[in-house]
Structure 1
């Protein structure tokens, strides 16, 4: 073999070796793919997803399914370049920069814990929204779930504190508390009036800047006092985006007749206790998951409609969801064939 041929062979081998090594190097991206669906009026592991005790319930049929997004990657388990490339080719998944999900100052454990808290809050908000729709009275208090280590609230606010007001503004829900804090500039002080045990006291906390926004580092939970028990079991699912479907599942069980008309309906959207439906992430992957589960109708938050219309799977009908009340009316119209069914429109 000539020296030139040997050189080319060795160079080719080195390029191939470097390519193979490079393909398996970790990269700071996360792959998002369609996750599992759960029927909120069905069962998980032979247990009802929604169990109601202390109030009359009614039989249901069909499906009101929540949809999820599975992710691969993250600070603790970065994907390799080959996995990212496969994701870029697959139209049903998305490959996004790691920092869009895991902020530089937050670990994977922090994000997972936050998702768990958001899921718990979502379940409570969903119950509150359903009871509000049914005009069933209940009460609510905002409590401190935890404080972030090193942040201003650490050591001042305590787990279990009931927040009555912030700078005199009543703590009607967690959003009211957040908005009262955000009304300040970073560096200004905020006064929390809290009930701790049997004592009511004022706690002053100085805000700090987090991406230009004021923050004190408190994790809150809205604790509702409902007139009966509503237990929600979805296994290892986190985040707030199942709120709308939880509310619909609760409503379906608490009212005669069937919201679905026996159809398989899936959907997504955060929910406020007052019934407003909010936008979510991963809409494309959630629609694919809905279609794969057999759903023919997909309840879509109004703010996600334009994005959803760009990639809606064939055979899946998108129904716009602005509020819980409007969504119930839309389901009634779908079931009876009478009335308006609000559709998503391209932006």
Structure 2
């Protein structure tokens, strides 16, 4: 009898545990990811090789079930975030993932442009249209467009930037119809869509989409990046360094293993990223000797609004000390600063 009761109890507990693993809370959990060597990811045609490695760092993120939430709450370098701190308002999971992939694509374009500009190599941009990041609920586009669509024309007019697109739409009024030409899964489609005022912006008329420019950089020599499912813009700095290293003679790494993070703008400015502490942990586990961290400026206004806010560099230094790593944290404000630091390295003895 006792054995039957024990078995019944174990079965109930097992069912409850399985059910709990599939029940997701309105939170995301982030944790240290990996440090990926860039030489297999970035390939410049006929590019130069280096003895060391430049590495991008990642943060793992996923929806929190009960178990993940409990583990994260007890772990120093796992963090819990409410959904609305990760996703934009009205944004679905699919739209969030597509936005991260598009941010990665934009980051790659910037990285290539910065590296080729520095190396004095030729490049140009090919404009492909407007990339739809997300759709506002209850707006006209909801019945026609999907995140990931590319709008190539409106009223048979092609545009060379999202600014031109927005300016054209803003010249219309609520109720006006526009003919949209867009691409989805390689197929071109057209549809008539009315314009409407945004529910939370009565003076603004539109289709009801968030968008970005969909453009491709054309270079000589060619560059291929195999990023697969790595999303977001935070690898921009490391991409630009790897591309420049392969474009130019010499070895930026001097035989060292160098990790880092940071967005990269078209003018080479290195920008703030999220999850700096977790990326330092990932780089240390991968055996990196140096870690390049954004040293962005924290203004008085930012400090007033967020009293505990600190630069990525300061957060990285604090984490490095906490985990007692021998890895050196290097502050960088720009691509040029990163290059200048790498040029000071002495060749590592093999």
TM-score, normalised to structure 2's length? 0.69
Alignment correspondent of 1:275: 268
Segments of 5+ residues of structure 1 without an aligned counterpart are: 1-12, 44-48, 172-176, 189-194, 197-203, 338-347
Partner Cα distance (1:302, 1:153) in 2: 40
The alignment partner of 2:315 has SS state of helix
How do 1:1-347 residues align onto structure 2 when only pairs under 5 Å count? 26-41=24-39, 43=40, 49-53=41-45, 56-73=46-63, 78-80=64-66, 82-142=67-127, 143-146=129-132, 148-149=134-135, 159-161=151-153, 163-164=159-160, 208=198, 217-303=210-296, 304-312=312-320, 313=323, 314-335=325-346
Partner Cα distance (1:61, 1:212) in 2: 58
Aligned length: 286
Between stretches 153-162 and 314-323, larger displacement belongs to: 153-162
On the 8 A contact 1:208/1:216 being kept in 2, the answer is: no
Show CA shifts across 1:49-90 (max 9, x none): 11222xx422211110000000121xxxx411x421221221
On the 8 A contact 1:278/1:301 being kept in 2, the answer is: yes
Segments of 5+ residues of structure 2 without an aligned counterpart are: 1-8, 175-180, 183-193, 297-311
Partner Cα distance (2:252, 2:203) in 1: 42
On the 8 A contact 2:115/2:244 being kept in 1, the answer is: yes
The alignment partner of 2:267 has SS state of coil
Partner Cα distance (1:97, 1:112) in 2: 17
Partner Cα distance (1:293, 1:211) in 2: 48
Query: Once superposed, what is the RMSD of the aligned Cα atoms?
Result: 4.0
Q: CA deviation at 1:159?
A: 2.1
Taking structure 1 as reference, are residues 86 and 93 closer, same or farther at Cα in structure 2, changes over 3 Å only? same
Partner Cα distance (2:203, 2:268) in 1: 27
